[in-house]
Structure 1
Amino acid sequence: MSFTLPHQSRCIVAQLAEPDRPRFFAGTSSVFNGSGAENELRLLDFDEDTNEVSSQSFAHPSQIRSIAPAIDKADFVFTVSTEAKIGATPSASLFLLSALSTIDDKGEKLANAAGSLSLLLRIESSNSLKNISNVFWDPTGDKSRVIATGTNAVGVFAIDRALSKATLQSTYSIPSTASSDVLTESIDCGKWNPHNTDEFAFAAGHSLFGLDLRAPPTTSTFSIPYAHDQCIRDIDYNPNKPYYLATGGNDGRVRIWDSRNVTKPLKDLNNHTHWVWSVAYNKFHDQLLLSSSSDCLVNLHNVVSVSSTPFGLIRSMDSDEEGLDGIYSKTTDELIATYREFEDSVYSVAWSSADPWIFASVSFDGRVNINIVPKEVKYSIIL
């Protein structure tokens, strides 16, 4: 299913606090150029039964670079944005969404109406945290602590109980043990470790680091100096296997790492022909891994050999191998599907938080595609 945003876009994420409906936030990043066009945060609802998308739009004052919905509150969301004026620097804003307008008694399908955003607090870029690019909520759902990444550092902020003020508690820069060429790079992406909330991973140039948030600002839990041949664009932790994480980079590769043994990647996937902008593990079935790229493609990978699936087995009626509970066959890693519906760089992919078989992606020209994992793949996993 496709949906077209009114302007260019770089980001799409799941509405994490919505357990029942496949909903996604997408943000536009238009430069006004005097046209009077206005950027927006758009909430999209996908109805699998009717294959329809409904939405609610929220006018946004500036270009949206990234979106971070609250984990346990459906109407709280951070955006990182930049005003369309010379010399403007990006800032992070926490908004409260107005009530949703729906067209049914169950409050499910959205009414394709307009809502409003109420600003609660703002985090400005500064000398200690230049050019903020992303905000990350504490994975436990604790709203008193967030992390923001800038080009030169990672900042940990304390948020007061009223959600009205954010105070910078500490900053972490690229470890001094890094090679000199890495130290000249900027921080492009990061991810909070869901298995250990005292660890945060980030990438600077082609190198990957893990920060110990309890330790001095230069202490790292792991480092991979040349994780990719070129700049790393995205990171995602395996939700089921501690220490495992995936990276995507400008070399067109997706790599899976074990942070306890960083001499070489566990998997090296080379199915893209240009920059990989986004990687995303399925939050329930970690053998499913998405990637998107400037080659206009979205790839769905099966990486069962480095997943938490016991023995890498699936049920198969054609197999001669007897398992304890039936007939099984071993699976192998493969490229499950390639989605070719886009005509521009695909900057972001996201799995639904309500349905593990639904995912969305967005390209720079504002096209959103919502797809469902092929039935044969789904049944091979759950049966």
Structure 2
Amino acid sequence: MQGASTGIVYGGLKYQARCIADVKADANSISFLAGTLSLKDENEVHLIRLSASGTELVCDGLFYHPTEIWDLSSCPFDHEIFSTVSSTGQKYEANIWHIPEQDGQSNASQLEQLLSLEAHTRKIKCVLWWPSGKHDKLISMDEENLLLWNIDCSNKTAKVQSQESVGIRHYLSGGAWDPHDQNSVCAISDSVVQCWDLRTMKKANSIEHAHVLDVDYNPKRQNIIVTVENESGICVWDLRMPKVPIKELPGHAHWTWTVKHNPEYEDLILSAGTDSTVKLWFTSISQTSEPTLEGLESPTSRKIEPLLNLYNDYEDSVYGIAWSSREPTLFASLSYDGRVVVESIKSYLPKKR
């Protein structure tokens, strides 16, 4: 199914880009952060706000960033703080930044560096904030290690509390922090999804599944995660039954790159891929009974769920998507050419019974 495009476009990014994040802690407006990916030019972070009328995307802040941005996350308890993972071309680094007060000028401003996560010796992949509010812990992952930090942004201190290697058989590429359990995190690699207990820094569970590129927890239902594979597929899993997915979706025509559960409507999933599209899915997880091994064994028992809408107003791969936590009927997408589009899904919400 494909609906008419009603998206609001922001074209202010002048370089290629992969990373966009919802500013969860912004209590006054719907806003997003987007970061550019240019090896030769000085990169930028754009603070993008949806106007009060809901008809325009405006730049609320433009900031210099010294290196190309590969990962970006907004602090969930302070709208002026965010993290980046970036590369100079030779090495990767992870930093926590503070947005300065705006003086009303249109020129780019300098960011204040609060913290640098300097304990990594391998290529850093991502920084994870505890998603549900204020927390003094932070997670960073490189190709081979998971690190848990104690952070104090006000005093600009960060200390490694514990770390663990994932082993020589796997190379980490990303992960997600369980919004239902601050002691649980999922880490993805080329051939497995690993669930870690942060209290012991030991693996609590794993899903053997090839070529996983992204993972996200269902914020409304415990034990439910969604993963995407680079060769197209989307799988919904119950971590209590890790051998077989409880739902399978066809994904994208090329690589399915990223996936996100809606923060409010538990049955809605958004995905994006290198086929230059974004897709909205209805999974009907809430309408299923608790899974049983017998029900999961048979592939014919898993029906392909409907595609609610396909958004294809892009000329390049879409690597970044972000739901608005303040208004869960809106999402922002970012294509590699720097095009940001905000769309509404109100017409696709499940009917109330």
Q: Could you tell me the TM-score, scaled by structure 1's length? A: 0.81
Flag the structure with larger Rg: 1
Match of residue 101 from structure 2: 99
Aligned with residue 262 of structure 1, among 239, 242, 250:
242
Where 1:124 maps in the other structure, the secondary structure is coil
Residue 382 of structure 1 deviates from its aligned partner by 5.5
Alpha-carbon deviations, 1:109-157, whole Å to 9, x = none? xx86633311111112533xx1112111123433421000100111111
Aligned with residue 296 of structure 1, among 276, 280, 295:
276
Residue 257 of structure 1 deviates from its aligned partner by 0.3
Distance 1:223 1:135 in 2: 21
User: Which runs of 5 or more residues in structure 2 are unaligned?
Assistant: 1-7, 290-303
Match of residue 3 from structure 2: none
Aligned with residue 62 of structure 1, among 67, 77, 101:
67
Alpha-carbon deviations, 1:297-339, whole Å to 9, x = none? 10000112x13x699xxxxxxxxxxxxxxxxxxxx94101000
Q: Supply the RMSD in Å over aligned alpha carbons.
A: 2.1
2:300 matches 1:344: no
* Structure 1 letter corresponding to 2:124: I
Match of residue 132 from structure 1: 124
User: Which runs of 5 or more residues in structure 1 are unaligned?
Assistant: 103-110, 177-182, 312-331
* Structure 2 letter corresponding to 1:145: K
* Structure 1 letter corresponding to 2:190: G
* Structure 2 letter corresponding to 1:38: E
Where 1:68 maps in the other structure, the secondary structure is strand
* Structure 2 letter corresponding to 1:253: G
Residue 238 of structure 1 deviates from its aligned partner by 0.1
CA contact 1:10–1:347 (8 Å) conserved in 2: yes
CA contact 1:125–1:131 (8 Å) conserved in 2: no
Where 1:78 maps in the other structure, the secondary structure is strand
Distance 1:240 1:282 in 2: 9
Distance 1:361 1:198 in 2: 30
**Percent identity between the two aligned chains:** 29
CA contact 1:203–1:209 (8 Å) conserved in 2: yes
CA contact 2:262–2:268 (8 Å) conserved in 1: yes
Distance 1:159 1:376 in 2: 42
Aligned with residue 363 of structure 1, among 331, 335, 341:
335
Distance 1:192 1:167 in 2: 19
* Structure 2 letter corresponding to 1:66: D
2:223 matches 1:243: yes
| Alpha carbons of structure 1 residues 30 and 291: separation in structure 2 relative to 1, 3 Å | same
What does 1:184-195 align with in structure 2 at a 5 Å threshold? 184-195=169-180
Distance 2:337 2:199 in 1: 42
Distance 1:112 1:267 in 2: 47
- The worse-fitting range, judged by mean Cα deviation, of 356-365 and 114-123 is 114-123
2:348 matches 1:377: yes
| Alpha carbons of structure 1 residues 54 and 120: separation in structure 2 relative to 1, 3 Å | same
| Alpha carbons of structure 1 residues 132 and 10: separation in structure 2 relative to 1, 3 Å | same
